């Protein structure tokens, strides 16, 4: 389908595809086994300007918006859903500063992040506060011109490799979500260390680590917005970043579809390639239809956000839910088409199936996303009545 990409976007996709074919594909399986973070490829991403796509021009970026982030993430994810997160997760960590940071914060942090000289990460999830983000236990107490942070964050993508962390902590526990505040914490800050590095089922080339705050002192000037606005900052950030998860899921699904068509065309049984069998054709047709439907929804949502829509929580949740469900469906069918070989690590589709699963879980489980969608439908119905 023609999605009417402009010249910049077409070149962006071609560039991401070249990096995927030449740099990511040869090492994806090895990094999946070792779990090593791909610093050399991150340098290529930085040199290609990927980290500046969502940063305003006055701070060293190109201010192109969510659509370009989606295009790059989708294309890179065709080759490795874990490595692509080095781009998408840094966007997630940067968005709170872009959305709600003051001029001084933007001037200090965004040029470095836009240049890819350091990565960003977002710290919200805790051991007892996953879907229930309002139950965060990490505390931030103001003392003079500093805030003292105590607590921990778990399952943090880019944990241990990022230079800048945007962290949600409670400044007034009695107020619940209205007592949460957002902070910028720099790597190397005294009292800020790292705990467990997670040994994951999929996306193993992405760093996932616990953040630990033990009387961590940060300057009061690192408060994003005002006290009590942290939950709002987090929700605005996730509404903007969920299309990135959808793009990761879409790329994994599209990559699995491409490999399935190629394999089915070459694999022979009963004297002919298996793509000649109606059962396989039906599976491939359904896979392709789901991929295109997910892509159409995702691109429409990205353009909606870039177009200045005031509210897009429902649409952001919809594209995340649908694309991630498609990723699981398509990669599962891809393993089936590959048969016994699909179950072996010698072929990449089993990795794609493992990578796809997390897209239904992080940045808001699909069960929570359906609640978001339903809540917005109810609001719309009430306004119309």
Active site residues: 363
Nearest to 363 by CA among 135, 75, 121, 99: 121
Strands 268-269, 272-273: pairing kind: antiparallel
Nearest to 213 by CA among 178, 174, 170, 157: 170
The token pair at 354 is: 């493992």
Sequence length of the chain is 385
Q: Give CA–CA dist 247/256, Å, rounded.
A: 14
The token pair at 108 is: 């200090």
Reported as half-sphere exposure (CB side, CA atoms, 13 A), residue 363 has a value of 34
The token pair at 31 is: 């990094």
Cβ–Cβ < 8 Å for 76, 19: yes
Cβ–Cβ < 8 Å for 355, 208: no
Cβ–Cβ < 8 Å for 61, 94: no
Cβ–Cβ < 8 Å for 217, 176: no
Q: CB neighbours of 59 closer than 8 A, spacing ≥ 6?
A: 106, 107, 110, 111, 114
The token pair at 124 is: 């919200």
Quickly count: other Cβ atoms within 10 Å of residue 51's Cβ. 27
């Amino acid at each position: 389908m023609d999605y009417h990409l402009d010249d910049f976007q077409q070149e962006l996709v071609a560039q991401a595809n070249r990096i995927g074919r030449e740099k990511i594909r040869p090492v994806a399986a090895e990094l999946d086994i070792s779990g090593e973070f791909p610093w050399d490829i991150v340098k290529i991403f930085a040199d290609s300007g990927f980290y500046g796509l969502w940063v305003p021009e006055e701070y060293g970026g190109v201010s192109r918006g969510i659509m370009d982030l989606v295009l790059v993430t989708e294309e890179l994810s065709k080759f490795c859903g874990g490595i692509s997160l080095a781009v998408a997760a840094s966007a997630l960590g940067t968005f709170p500063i872009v959305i709600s940071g003051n001029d001084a914060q933007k001037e200090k942090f965004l040029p470095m992040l836009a240049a890819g000289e350091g990565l960003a990460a977002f710290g919200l999830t805790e051991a007892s506060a996953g879907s229930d983000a309002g139950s965060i236990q990490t505390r931030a107490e103001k003392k003079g011109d500093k805030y003292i942070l105590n607590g921990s964050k778990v399952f943090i993508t880019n944990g241990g490799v990022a230079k800048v962390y945007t962290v949600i902590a409670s400044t007034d526990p009695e107020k619940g979500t209205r007592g949460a505040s957002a902070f910028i914490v720099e790597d190397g800050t005294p009292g800020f260390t790292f705990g467990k590095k997670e040994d994951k089922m999929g996306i193993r080339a992405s760093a996932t680590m616990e953040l630990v705050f033990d009387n961590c002192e940060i300057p009061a000037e690192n408060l994003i917005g005002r006290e009590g606005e942290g939950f709002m900052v987090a929700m605005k950030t996730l509404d903007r970043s969920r299309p990135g998860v959808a793009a990761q899921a879409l790329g994994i699904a599209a990559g699995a579809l491409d490999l399935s068509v190629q394999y089915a065309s070459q694999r022979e049984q009963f004297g002919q390639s298996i793509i000649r069998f109606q059962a396989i054709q039906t599976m491939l047709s359904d896979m392709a239809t789901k991929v295109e439907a997910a892509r159409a929804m995702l691109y429409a949502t990205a353009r909606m956000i870039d177009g200045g829509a005031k509210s897009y929580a429902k649409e952001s949740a919809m594209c995340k839910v649908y694309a991630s469900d498609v990723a699981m469906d398509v990669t599962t069918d891809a393993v089936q088409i590959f048969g016994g070989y699909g179950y072996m690590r010698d072929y990449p589709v089993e990795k794609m199936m493992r990578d796809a699963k997390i897209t239904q879980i992080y940045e808001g489980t699909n069960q929570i996303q359906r609640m978001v969608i339903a809540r917005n439908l109810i609001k719309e119905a009430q306004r119309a009545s």
